[in-house]
Structure 1
Amino acid sequence: MIKTIVLNTFFYCFILLCCRHGARAQAFNAEIINDLVHTKLDISFDYKKCYVYGKEGITIKPHCYPTDSLRLDAKGMDIHKVCVIKGSSMVPLTFTYDNLAINIHLDRVYHANESYTVHIDYTAKPNERKGIRKNEKGIYFINPQGEEKDKPTQIWTEGEPESSSGWFPTIDKPDQKTTSEINMTVPSKYVTLSNGKLVSQKNNPNGTRTDTWKMALPNAPYLFMMAVGDFKIYHDHWRGKEVSYYLDPKYAPYAKQIFGQTPEAMEFFSKTLGVDFPWNKEAAIAVSDYISVAMENTTATVFGNPYQTSYRELADQDYNATIPHELFHQWFGDYVTAKNWANLTMNESFADFGEIIWLEYKYGKDVAGEHLYKGLQEYLRNKRNFGKALVNYNYKVPADMFNGVTYQKGGRILNMLRNYLGNEAFYKGLHLYLTTNAFKNAEATQLRLAMEEASGSDLNWFFNQWYFGAGHPVLKLNYQWDSISKTATVYVAQEQDGQIFKLPLAVDIYSGGKKVRHKVWIRNKNDTLKFHSEIEPDLVNVDADKVLVCQKTDIKPLAVNAYQYFHAPLYLDRFEALEAAQKNQKDSIAQRIIFAALNDPFPGLRKKAIMALDLSDSLMKTKAEPTLAALAQNERNNQARSAALLILARYREPRYLPLFDAALKSESYTVQAAAIFGIAQIDEDKALKTARKFENDNAGELTEVIFHLYAKKADVKDWPYLYRRYTAGTLQEKVSLLSEFTSMMNSVKDPTTTQQGIAVLREMAIKYKTDGLTPYIIKSLDRIKEAKEKQNDSASVEDVINAKKDINMDGK
């Protein structure tokens, strides 16, 4: 599962709040009394009540010791009947139910060599559950009665970490695995998707159809899924296996563009791991109002709103890391599953690592290097991550484990291990880990044993340090050259609190036009590294492979950074040099680096160089202008071109109006947004007229710039469009546009308009109250109240007061 999106800070904080799941967990290996064997479900739906009517046949066997009892997780249900199946008969069983679990007294004592099947007749009522977050229901009815215009009617499930028991009784733990048969009865106009193979479809007299999906190989309950709706299916294939993409009809024409790399990624991962894709099919489905980004249900991955997209939005994506992330889970998480949430690294760190190796294979080392760096920064940004071990038995709820340690740090730890062992030994170890633990559960220790067997190395130090210990090295590097002894010295200090790290390092010495690599170890709080060189090195490049999970202060003269930019091969080599130059732009050496980076072969560094330009320096501004104009006109990468347009806009030169007008013809929303912004710096009235031409086709930054211009103009005639666009937007859009939406209400002196907007904010605050959005909306309402008090708009002030009362009263 992945929950990281490129977000503004506000929305990022909101998503983190949303991802905190419910009941407290036991942060240890709970005792296993019974094992799941097979799960058969007959499911139908009540779209009006948002109920799930289920009949379940669940086959169980005692794990080891004899037992006469069975506990099943079952959240928010009515349990109508519980029986044990005896041949063709059903023998009623006594049970108790507390709205979270069914405790069943069996008809006799069963032993480990016996299996038994329990029948349960139940109704799941996800929308009637109290005291849970929105993302804990397990099953979701989207626009069930079709009352919301332009929103599809869908049903879909989300089981991680322990929410599948919100739609069927089960032992809802990751260390359980079961085969399955799911029979879904749905309106015949709808398409269904579930785990495994669609083996039959039966038309019923009442206008419904029953689809039967069978999963012949065992997988964990949290990986069970169902989806129902009006989806168009694009059929692809890999080595004769079915690969399918399910999309809303509106986005179906772009199915191949969105998901089309899936077969190539399946081939790459199969060859790399030496284990072929282990399931009968791979399906990807994009659903509406999804509560996360994506989820790796076995054979049927669910994606959220960002994957309901058009070719214009795709034009603004340099690459997609989520699709390979979820696909890699089909091996790491589905085929071999973490034994418990404390070992979630065995699922999510691997999926994050899968992103890295896919990007490296598909797009090259610069793209992978940028992704490595950005992910490391995401981990480092949250200071609380420093105190968390990768394997962590001290969590309170499972959601605590879904963090930057498990994802970004863990993926980069695996990348360090790959670098240390070498590709051959590392992938041999992964192959051994997968084949040894196929269709089973595993912990970090089993990965260590596989890697040790493959490589012949003792890796206790690595796992103790990186898996079971917390934190990361905080390094400070200083350099000295002794011309008499011809010795280059590097002083390495570990300045972090906590453990001192043992670090194998590659150090490249560049001297006399040659590069010599040295393999060294850092073991102490302060270490001194010495290297002989006949002449003073042009560059001593510590961590030359740029794989360390660390914070680093590397104290180098600008001349050395310049040499690093032009001679060291990796993305991060050039990035670090550009960072140093950015801080010293009056220096001629720094300018040389920046202007070289404006034409760097990698667009990510071109964009960084563009955004780094200090236009307050008149000489720099004049010197950069021709290059910026050329990039704004000719740059092929939309992100870099957009950056060039935005910086060029700051020149406020009318002679660039034709250039901005030409950029409006781009298929990229981001480029069009930058072009309108550029026009606005020269002629605001023209920018407003231009913005209105895009009212019927906008997304992302283009929507934001339209809202910004309208809010600044504060013309009540523009309110109907803002209102329609805002209320029709996705949750992410509503959050990102909240400030401009509020500003428009503040500025427009029209009580009817203001009160209409207040009603929207009130509804949002109540709807998302349990998910952490409400405090931000309250702040917006306070801003509106303050503005309306100054305008003597007492009716709108009263509306804000009443809205806040309603928000505070809701749920009490």
Structure 2
Amino acid sequence: MWIVGRDDKNPNLPLAERRVEYISPNSIQVSMATIYPYYRAGRGFAYPEYISRFTPSNDFRIKHLRLELWIDFDGESLRGLEEVEVEHFRGGGWVVFDACEMWIEDVKVDGRGVSWRYDGERLSVKLDAGNGRIQIAYRAKPRKGFHFVKPDKANPGRAPQAWSQGETEYNRFWLPLTDHPSQKHTSETIIYVPPGYAAVSNGELVARGSRDGWDYWHWRMDKPHSPYLISVVAGIFEEYAEEYNGVRLSYYVPPGYGGVYRLSFEKTPKILEFFSKYLDYPYPYKKYAQTAVYEFIFGGMENTTATTLTELTLHDEKAHIDFSSDPLVAHEAAHQWFGDLVTCKDWPHIWLNESLATFLENLFVRHDKGEEEFVYELIRDTDAYLREYRDNYARPIVTRVYKYSPELFDTHSYQKGGLVLNMLRAQLGEDAFRKGLNLYLRRFAYSVADTEDFRKVMEEVSGKNLELFFEQFFYNAGHPSLRVEEEWRDSSRQLLLRFKQTQGEDSLPVYILDIPVRVKTKSTEKVFMVELREREMTHVLSLDEQPELVCIDPNFDIFKTLEYARGVERHIEVLEKDEHVYCRVLAARALGRIGGAKAVEALRRSLVGDSFWGVSAEAARALGELRTEEARKALLEALEKVKNAKVRRVICEALGNFRGRETVEALSRVLSSDEESYYVRQSAAISLGRTKEAEVYETLLRHIDTPSHASAITAGVLRGLAELGGEDSLKVLLRYAESDKKTPARAAAVASLGKFPGRREVMESLRHYARDPNYRVRQAVIAACRELLSPDVIGILEDLAQNDAYEMNRRAARDAAERVRRSLERGVEYKELREELERIKEENRRLVERVSILAGAIESKA
């Protein structure tokens, strides 16, 4: 056992760098059979027909790709003339390009006719020599990978745009290429657009002019990058620019956003500077553009030197109260190092792109806002991963078994991987970890890498064997789940900590962990390192006096779930006295599960008085879960006192668990107030519907068209109407699902149809919108079907699972169909059991409340 004293000269050093004192443990025996009884592939991710996939081999490599592209906005089509410089390793042979659903008009090699064949998916060209330049003339009308956005009924004043989205393998739908991340080459694009339009692509702008009635923009990328990162964005934009350390920073936004664009992008120089210093590797390119486009199907895409972002990230001062673009901007900027400069060799290793970008995004939060905000980001990342883990599946971060590469872009590759990297940072120490990141970037710059490359680099800089770490957290599914009991023995001055690993069968039965334990007494404070080597272990800590506070892993360095077997009083002490956000959050959540008058009072104090907004928000959520009258009063009181908009959002959310006139009036005031942020009002609207009070219908309807960022208030009203239910509410939802409404409102309306089972008009609407051209609307159809759990939706979901243009929707639809089938198999018995459990839970809540009130009365009389 290792003990770390608080008398270190620098108590903020990572555990790996502190001066430590060694104390022999009572008895630690590790059986390798206990560590690795068998491999854990997880559950629910791979369907029966899934197979292992490996990086393809090629007899050739692309050295340079030059594309001339004419964009026909009226016809929503493309004409391309591509020249590809190729080296064939066998001195000649077939060169195969991915090229889906195109019209190939002509193919030449070095200007001469050549043998070629095309099957609608791949173009094969015969190269007679070892090197050559292949010229391809083609046309395309892409159904994915390249999108046209024009004015419509919902947005009549919208400026025309066209944009590509290549990741994972969609660029093949608009230009012939070897569409795999393992291929890296330089590129240039000459983009022809109508006069007055702008065009943005990778690299530097080397020429711009007019020719034959077209404007052209010539961009050249002189560093190798993967094909999926080739990008084209065209349309009518306003450009704003500045410079950072010799790098041109450009911000392209739709007309009308000039007054607010800085709220989204103003921290870009600071972000690039922080990453450059933290990684000890300057931004690797000469330009960085960020372009906001309409109807983007993701939040952002890190195309090399030319990130594309959703227009919904642009926002005004009112939204800026509790909405920020900084995480998105930081995430995509981090990809310029991890993803673009060094790219994962194949999709099973996508965590090398996404986990590292998520981790660096969180590090920027720490740099910009402090340690508490950083730890709370880690907590919320854990929550996001656990939702996917509990509701959908568990898989190893690195897995070759999948059908569609986009399936791997989930919380396992983003949040879980980022949390594991944070744990690795803590284990190696910050200095060694940073050196490892730097060496990784230098060694694989402008190339590709896999998980073993990353592991070996980290071993090289740290001198540690990391095979066990990577086996536990990257190559196996699941995560550690710990339950801890405390016992103080006053006679021997010893604190007993009983650890039990409670993870299920989709995780390793035993994780080998070293966990810091902070113990605070009246006179001292120490951090012990306890070693977990068995499923159940007891550690004995010798102290001079009884501890006041015990906090396991106070800085949340270890990726895990943690449950304390404590009484209410101990949780209250931690909530009110512990200096660490992680410990206070766990205490607030525990009190929300335990309940009782003391818990409510402690949560009330935390809600209005904690120094960090995240803990206050957790206290509000816990009070909502208790659903007692005293909890309701505490929330209403806090709504009058608390000013922080992020906390107010959660207070309004929690009030949705209650009914009664006072609750309705409070939420109605919030919804009607122009002083509140858009997202506080959205939360109030949803909760008003959850009160089930008929009078709120008119209140909600009055605010349905209130202008707000990303239609936040409209979407909140629609969700509130769905919660309220009734014929009138359904009519409104069906109206707002129509195509003359903005996408966020349509998506909210369609998803909310899941609250209306057994309705013919609902099923007809879902069938109709399952073929809607809008990606997010089809996503909403899947969400509604998932909630309905009706046999009628299976056909809709199966159609989407087979025919949707995007594989993410196919996967989501198939998962939803399986969920519906499982629910139907459980049948009526399950429904009755669930209702009985809810009845028992409600009776238990009332009993706890009555006992607590009685105890309080007795105490006051005494």
TM-score, normalising length: structure 1 = 0.82
Offset, 1:38: 0.8
Q: Secondary structure at the match of 2:476?
A: coil
Inter-CA distance 415–729: structure 2 relative to 1 (3 Å threshold) = farther
Superimposed CA distance per residue, residues 276-311 of structure 1 (whole angstroms, 9 cap, x where no aligned partner) = 110111111121222222111001111124324443
Measured after TM superposition, the shift of residue 521 of structure 1 is 2.1
Whether the 8 Å CA contact 2:753–2:784 is kept in 1: the answer is no
Structure 1 stretch 285-294 or stretch 769-778: which is displaced more? 769-778
CA distance in 1, matches of 2:756, 2:59: 60
Q: 1:451 aligns with which of 435, 450, 458?
A: 458
Residue 702 (structure 1) aligns with: 713
116, 121, 127: which one pairs with 1:106? 127
Q: What is residue 826 of structure 2 aligned with on the other side?
A: none
Measured on the aligned residues, the alpha-carbon RMSD in Å equals 4.1
Structure 1 Cα separation of the partners of residues 230 and 570 of structure 2: 55
Match of 1:733 among 745, 754, 758: 745
Is 1:44 the equivalent of 2:70?
A: yes
Cα distance in structure 1, aligned partners of 2:651 and 2:457: 47
Q: For 1:305-338, what per-residue CA distance to the aligned partner results, in whole angstroms no more than 9, with x for missing partners? A: 4324443333331664222111110000100011
Is the 1:582–1:594 contact (alpha carbons within 8 Å) kept by the matching residues of 2?
Answer: no
Distance 1:528 1:654 in 2: 48
**Structure 1 counterpart of 2:72, one-letter code:** D
Alignment correspondent of 1:306:
312
Deviations 1:441-496 (A, max 9, x none): 11112212221222222222212222223221122222222333322121222233
What are the within-5 Å matches in structure 2 for residues 650-729 of structure 1?
A: 652-653=661-662, 660=669, 664-666=673-675, 668-673=677-682, 688=698, 692=702, 695=705, 697-698=707-708, 700-707=711-718, 723=735, 727-729=739-741
Q: Secondary structure at the match of 1:44?
A: strand
Determine if contact 2:428/2:462 at 8 Å carries over to the other structure: yes
Q: Aligned partners of 1:679 and 1:499: how far apart in 2?
A: 45
Match of 2:134 in 1: 118
Cα distance in 2 for partners of 1:692, 1:145 equals 25
Equivalent residue for 1:601?
Answer: 611
1:350 is matched with 356
1:419 Cα deviation (Å)?
A: 0.8
Deviations 1:180-225 (A, max 9, x none): 110011101211110011111111342x201101111111100000
Q: Could you list the per-position Cα deviations for residues 779-801 of structure 1 after superposition, in whole angstroms to 9, with x for gaps in the alignment?
A: 99999xx9xxxxxxxxxxxxx9x
> What secondary structure does 1:598 align onto?
helix
1:654 deviates by 10
User: 1:598, CA displacement in angstroms?
Assistant: 2.7
Instruction: Tell me, in whole angstroms, the C-alpha distance in 2 between the residues paired with 1:125 and 1:380.
Output: 40
Partner of 1:167: 174
Alpha-carbon distance between aligned partners in 2 of 1:677 and 1:393, rounded to the nearest angstrom:
41
**1:560 and 1:717 mapped to 2: Cα distance?**
46
Whether 1:83 and 2:104 are equivalent positions in the alignment is no
Residue in structure 2 matched with residue 54 of structure 1 by the alignment: 80
Deviation of 1:353 (Å): 0.7
Other-structure match for 1:636: 644
Amino acid of the structure 1 residue aligned with 2:707: D
TM-score (normalised: structure 2): 0.78
Q: 1:327 to 1:482 in 2, by over 3 A?
A: same
**2 CA distance for matches of 1:241 and 1:769?**
36
For residues 401 and 733 of structure 2, the distance between their equivalents in structure 1, rounded to whole angstroms, comes to 50
5+ long unaligned stretches in structure 2 = 1-44, 805-862
Give SS of 2:582's match.
Answer: helix
Q: Does 1:415 align with 2:415?
A: no
1:540 Cα offset (Å): 2.9
Q: Give the Cα separation in 2 of the matches to 1:563 and 1:718.
A: 48
Cα distance change on mapping 1:229 and 1:760 into 2, 3 Å? farther
Q: Secondary structure at the match of 2:675?
A: coil
Partner-residue secondary structure (3-state), 1:175:
coil
Letter in 1 for 2:136: I
Q: Are 1:495 and 2:502 matched, yes or no?
A: yes
Amino acid in structure 1 at the alignment position of 2:116: F
Whole-angstrom CA distance in 1 between matches of 2:730 and 2:414? 43
Judged with a 3 Å threshold, the aligned counterparts in structure 2 of structure 1 residues 530 and 679 are, in CA distance, closer, same or farther, namely closer
Distance 1:509 1:782 in 2: 49
Which residue, 182, 188, 199 being the options, matches 1:192? 199
Question: Paired residue for 1:585, among 595, 602, 622?
Answer: 595
Q: CA deviation at 1:360?
A: 1.2
1:592 deviation in Å? 2.4
Distance 1:274 1:482 in 2: 50
Task: Classify 1:782/1:426 alpha carbon distance in 2 versus 1 (closer, same or farther; 3 Å).
Answer: closer
Query: Which letter maps to 2:713?
Result: L
> Which residue matches 1:7?
none
Q: C-alpha displacement at 1:150, in angstroms?
A: 4.0
Are residues 374 and 232 of structure 1, via their aligned partners in 2, closer, same or farther at CA, if it must alter by over 3 Å? same
Say if 1:646 and 1:675, in contact at 8 Å, map to a contact too: no
- Answering whether residue 98 of structure 2 is matched by residue 73 of structure 1, we say yes
- 8 Å contact kept, 1:653–1:682: no
* Structure 2 CA distance for aligned equivalents of residues 119 and 353 of structure 1: 42
CA contact (8 A) 1:138 1:159 kept: yes
* Structure 1 counterpart of 2:203, one-letter code: G
Q: Are 2:383 and 1:374 aligned?
A: no
User: In structure 2, what residue type is equivalent to 1:733?
Assistant: A
Distance 1:780 1:702 in 2: 23
Which one is further off, 273-282 or 300-309?
300-309
Instruction: Give 1:97's aligned residue.
Output: 118
Identity of aligned residues (%): 26
1:432 CA displacement:
0.8
The letter for the 2-side match of 1:123 is R
2:259 alignment partner, SS class? helix
Secondary structure of the residue that 2:331 maps to in structure 1? helix
Asked whether the equivalents of residues 177 and 221 of structure 1 are also in contact (C-alpha less than 8 Å), the reply is yes
Task: Note the C-alpha offset of 1:226.
Answer: 0.2
Give the alignment partner of residue 333 of structure 1, picking from 327, 339, 345.
339
- Is the contact between residue 219 and residue 335 of structure 1 (CA under 8 Å) also seen in structure 2? yes
Match of 1:28 in 2: 54
> Judging changes above 3 Å, is the alpha-carbon distance between structure 1 residues 493 and 125 closer, same or farther for their aligned structure 2 residues?
same
SS of the residue 1:382 aligns to: helix
CA distance in 2, matches of 1:674, 1:558: 30
Residue 650 of structure 1 and its aligned partner are, at CA, apart by 5.3
Most deviating of 257-266 and 704-713: 704-713
Report the counterpart of residue 576 of structure 2 in structure 1. Answer: 566
C-alpha spacing 1:169/1:654, structure 2 compared with 1 (3 Å): closer
Match of 1:434, SS?
Answer: helix
Which of 179, 183, 187 in structure 1 is aligned with 2:186?
Answer: 179
Amino acid of the structure 2 residue aligned with 1:647: L
CA 762–687 in structure 1, closer or farther in 2 if over 3 Å, else same: closer
Q: 1:509 to 1:163 in 2, by over 3 A?
A: same
